[in-house]
């Protein structure tokens, strides 16, 4: 994780770096720093523990220059202290470096090359900049020293390096961590994410793994690590400045929850034509058709979205679906079917665990599809095919609209494949119509937010533990609902198959334990879940029910409009997103930036 921003050749470097860091803060927020320089040897290095606002408070008008690099950190090596915050400097202070990623052989580098060096902190990054400085001391040019270091360093990294004796250049390189060049008029930028540069430019250039870029105010020179020139076209980003603002919302999470009906409609217009015909890329459809098994690989919320879509995909396509936790499969790939197809579900398209699986799949010649919200992201570039979520930037750390968009995108894919297979269920499923109903159902749930806010105050204000229970798809929604609640409210919460509770876990239920029950399946299933509710209520649980219209009974707490069963996971999750939001708010927590977390998890 961590976020990097750099600019060369713009007199407002400090402002550009600070604005960029504010936009990158979702990537890590335990400490931050900037280095700004105008002419040789005049650089200023300012660091701070805490949020970007804490760093801003330390920056006076004297911190100015035309070249600079900045960093917001999510600690991997060493605690969140000023000494460990980036940028880091070489032994003499001549070189200044920011880094995102993990250098795997940093201890070996320290022993082999840096005897006698005194380090200020405990980070792997400091070792990298000392290494470069040492090679220059040994007589290499800066570029040669950087290249030599890149040949030695193993692991994931995005680097931006400034030489205080020549502040007209930023040296950049990356491997497995995201980094992008932004092209300005008379200046150039480098950044982990286009969002942080969009105020300055919409012209970008990708950097691929193991490429080195020498960036000056009017030149971008891309080479491989052996110095061979690489031709790279610039592209125009579709992003809009208004997409990344919070508007009048107190938190991004609430804005993103509210955007979900729009996202559903956007997906309809993207993946269906005016007559309702599905327009998913035929090459993707064919590739899925040819598979004897679909493997969905993902992490966290995206993994939960895969589960919530499993039975819909199986019913519509007639192809079995298996789910894999990306961080497990990267190293423990199970026995696969004869003709597998891998689907990588990832909001960011940058998750290192998912990428690890994709690298293996590519090596094994397995066709792959990345379903992501970020065009041009690593997973999208490296998979055989890509489908975009078109959900607009998701900035709150807790994912909401990406989850629902993933299920909807998978519905379009499944319908297209099922139709191509001549499956009755797919031919009869009017997805465009049903998804419009889902959009309305979401709107109806959103209009009930005040009711939900009150229910949460009664139920979750002081509790340390809670359970979500459900059967079938409701169980999968319960998994996501509990992840959302624990990540932003810090309430320990488990999503449980309602019928499984009595096989052990029910011993945790005591007077006042909150149990949130989800009911959207058939009458029979609903009756069983209600039986499980009775069991926990009899043991003192404080129960809240979220029930689909038609299955509701007197006394239910939240009733969700009925939608097509394939899509019920989307409508059922909405109240649970609001429950998590209000629980976090009522506890006085930072809803958008929960502790210890970061948005794009680019380390394994
Ligand atoms: C939780 C959340 C995470 C992500 C996970 C995978 O709200 O956002 O669990 O879902 O880190 O990230 P992506 O989808 O970007 O691969």
| pLDDT for 553 | 95
Res 461: pLDDT:
85
Picking from 20, 22, 5, the residue whose alpha carbon sits closest to that of residue 68 is: 5
| DSSP state string for 484-506 | HHHHHH--EEEEEEGGGGGGTGG
- Asked if residue 595 is part of any domain, the answer here is no
Q: 158 and 14 share a domain?
A: yes
98: in domain = yes
Q: Which residues pair with 371 in a beta bridge?
A: 345, 387
603 lies in some domain = no
Report how far ligand 1's centroid is from the alpha carbon of 589 (Å).
20
What is the predicted pLDDT for the residue at 375?
Answer: 87
304 C-alpha to ligand 1 centroid (Å): 10
* Same domain assignment for residues 235 and 267: no
**CA-600 nearest atom, ligand 1:** 15
The contacts of residue 538 (CB under 8 Å, 6+ apart) are none
Residue with tokens 């020498």, as numbered in its chain = 214
Q: How far is the CA of 404 from the centre of ligand 1 (A)?
A: 13
Residues 6+ positions from 133 with CB-CB distance below 8 Å: 90, 91, 92, 94, 95, 145
Whether 266 contacts 395, CB under 8 Å: no
Q: Which CATH number do you get for residue 160?
A: 3.60.20.10
Q: Would residue 66 count as lying in a domain?
A: yes
* Residue with token string 């030695």: 152
DSSP, collapsed to helix, strand or coil, labels residue 21 as helix
Write down the pTM of the prediction.
0.87
Q: Cβ(320)–Cβ(314) under 8 Å?
A: yes
Whole-number pLDDT of residue 604: 72
Probe target for ligand 1 pocket from 178, 257, 296, 299, with the most ligand atoms within 8 Å of CB: 299
C-alpha 192 to ligand 1 mean position (Å): 17
Co-location of 252 and 360 in the same domain: yes
Residues 338, 422 within the same domain: yes
- For each successive 10 residues of the chain (604 residues), what is the average pLDDT? 92 95 88 95 94 94 94 87 95 96 93 93 93 97 98 95 97 93 97 91 93 97 96 87 84 97 96 95 98 98 98 97 96 95 96 94 97 91 96 95 98 98 96 97 96 93 94 97 98 96 92 97 89 96 97 96 97 98 96 85 72
Query: Does residue 197 share a domain with residue 321?
Result: no
pLDDT at 561: 97
Among the three residues 443, 467, 499, which one is the final residue of a domain in this structure?
443
Clarify whether residues 516 and 457 are in a common domain. yes
CATH of the domain at 586: 3.40.50.10490
Residues 149 and 236 in one domain: yes
All residues at 6 or more sequence positions from 165 whose CB lies less than 8 Å from its CB, including other chains: 40, 41, 94
The whole-angstrom separation of Cα 132 and Cα 346 is 35
Task: Please report the atom of ligand 1 found closest to the CA of residue 403.
Answer: 10
Nearest alpha carbon, ligand 1 atom 13: 346
Looking at the CA of residue 601, tell me the nearest atom of ligand 1. 11
Assigned domain for 338 exists: yes
Test site for ligand 1: of 305, 323, 399, 495, most ligand atoms within 8 A of the Cβ: 399
CA distance 154 to 147: 13
Residue nearest to atom 3 of ligand 1 (CA): 300
* Residues annotated catalytic, as ranges: 2, 599
218 CA distance to ligand 1 centroid (A)? 37
Is 325 inside a domain boundary?
yes
Q: Given this model, what pLDDT does residue 224 score?
A: 96
Residue span of the structural domain in which 150 resides: 3-243
Q: Pocket of ligand 1, candidates 601, 602, 603, 604: which has the most ligand atoms within 8 Å of its Cβ, to mutate?
A: 601
Closest CA to 429 of 523, 552, 564, 536: 564
Q: Is residue 471 part of a domain?
A: yes
Centre of ligand 1 from the C-alpha of residue 599, in Å: 7
Give the containing element (helix H, strand E) for 573.
helix 568-586
* Residue 601 domain-assigned (yes or no): no
Looking at residue 540, its pLDDT comes to 96
The residues facing 163 across adjacent strands are 95
Same domain, residue pair 87 and 187: yes
Is there a single domain that holds both residue 295 and residue 379? yes
Rounded to whole angstroms, the Cα distance separating 120 from 78 reads 11
3-state secondary structure of 155: strand
Looking at the 3D structure of the chain, how many domains does it have?
3
290 and 232 fall within a common domain: no
Q: 184, 217, 243 — which closes off a domain?
A: 243
Pocket of ligand 1 (CB under 6 A): 299-302, 346-348, 351, 354, 398-399, 487, 601
Asked if 378 and 467 sit in the same domain, the reply is no
Q: Ligand 1 mean position to 465 CA, how many Å?
A: 22
CA distance 39 to 206: 29
Together in a domain, 178 and 55: yes
Mutate to test the pocket of ligand 1, among 328, 351, 477, 597 (most ligand atoms within 8 A of CB): 351
Could you give the C-alpha distances from 372 to 68, 87, 367, 383, in angstroms and in order?
Answer: 31, 31, 16, 11
In the listed set 413, 443, 473, which residue is the last one of a domain according to the structure? 443
């Amino acid at each position: 994780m961590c976020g990097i921003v750099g600019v060369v050749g713009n007199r407002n470097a400090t402002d550009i770096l600070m604005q960029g860091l504010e936009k990158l803060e979702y990537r890590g927020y335990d400490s931050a720093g900037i280095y700004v320089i105008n002419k040789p040897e005049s650089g200023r290095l300012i660091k701070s523990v805490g949020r970007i606002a804490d760093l801003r408070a330390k920056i006076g008008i004297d911190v100015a220059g035309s070249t600079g690099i900045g960093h917001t950190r999510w600690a991997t090596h060493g605690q969140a202290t000023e000494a460990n915050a980036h940028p880091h400097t070489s032994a003499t202070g001549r070189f200044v470096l920011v880094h995102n990623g993990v250098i795997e052989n940093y201890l070996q580098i320290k022993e082999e090359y840096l005897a006698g060096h005194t380090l200020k902190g405990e980070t792997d990054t400091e070792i990298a900049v000392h290494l470069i400085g040492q090679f220059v001391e040994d007589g290499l040019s800066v570029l040669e020293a950087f290249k030599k270091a890149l040949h030695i360093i193993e692991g994931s990294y995005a680097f931006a390096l400034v030489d205080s004796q020549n502040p007209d250049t930023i040296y950049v390189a990356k491997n497995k961590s995201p980094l992008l060049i932004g092209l300005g008029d008379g200046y150039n930028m480098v950044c982990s994410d286009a969002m942080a540069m969009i105020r300055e430019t919409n012209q970008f250039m990708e950097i691929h793994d193991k490429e080195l870029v020498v960036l000056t105010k009017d030149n971008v020179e891309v080479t491989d690590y052996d110095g061979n020139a690489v031709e790279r076209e610039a592209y125009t980003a579709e992003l809009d400045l208004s997409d990344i603002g919070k508007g009048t919302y107190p938190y991004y999470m609430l804005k993103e929850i509210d955007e979900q009906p729009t996202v559903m409609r956007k997906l309809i217009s993207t993946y269906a034509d005016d007559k309702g015909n599905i327009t998913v890329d035929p090459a993707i459809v064919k590739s899925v058709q040819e598979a004897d098994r679909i493997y969905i690989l993902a992490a966290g919320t995206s993994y939960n979205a895969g589960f919530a879509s499993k039975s819909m995909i199986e019913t519509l396509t007639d192809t079995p679906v298996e789910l894999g936790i990306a961080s497990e499969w990267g190293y423990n790939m199970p026995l696969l079917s004869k003709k597998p197809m891998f689907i990588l579900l990832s909001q960011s398209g940058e998750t290192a665990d998912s990428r690890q699986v994709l690298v293996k799949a590519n090596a094994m010649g397995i066709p792959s599809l990345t379903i992501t919200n970020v065009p041009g992201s690593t997973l999208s570039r490296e998979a055989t095919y890509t489908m975009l979520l078109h959900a607009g930037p998701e900035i709150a750390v807790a994912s909401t609209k990406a989850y629902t968009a993933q299920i909807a995108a998978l519905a379009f894919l499944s319908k297209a494949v099922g139709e191509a297979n001549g499956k009755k269920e797919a031919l009869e499923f009017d997805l465009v119509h049903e998804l419009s109903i889902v959009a309305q159902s979401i709107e109806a749930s959103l209009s009930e937010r005040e009711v939900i806010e009150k229910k949460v105050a009664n139920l979750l204000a002081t509790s340390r533990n809670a359970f979500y229970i459900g059967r079938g798809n409701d169980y999968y929604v319960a998994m996501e609902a509990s992840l959302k609640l624990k990540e932003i409210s810090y309430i320990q919460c488990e999503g449980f198959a309602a019928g499984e509770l009595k096989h052990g876990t029910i011993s945790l239920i005591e007077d006042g334990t909150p149990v949130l029950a989800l009911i959207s399946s058939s009458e029979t299933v609903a009756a069983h879940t209600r039986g499980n509710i009775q069991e926990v209520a009899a043991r003192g649980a404080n129960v809240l029910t979220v029930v689909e219209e038609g299955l509701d009974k007197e006394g239910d707490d939240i009733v969700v409009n009925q939608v097509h069963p394939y899509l019920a996971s989307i409508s059922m999750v909405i109240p649970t997103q609001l429950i998590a939001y209000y629980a976090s708010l009522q506890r006085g927590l930072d809803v958008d930036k929960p502790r210890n977390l970061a948005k794009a998890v680019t380390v394994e």
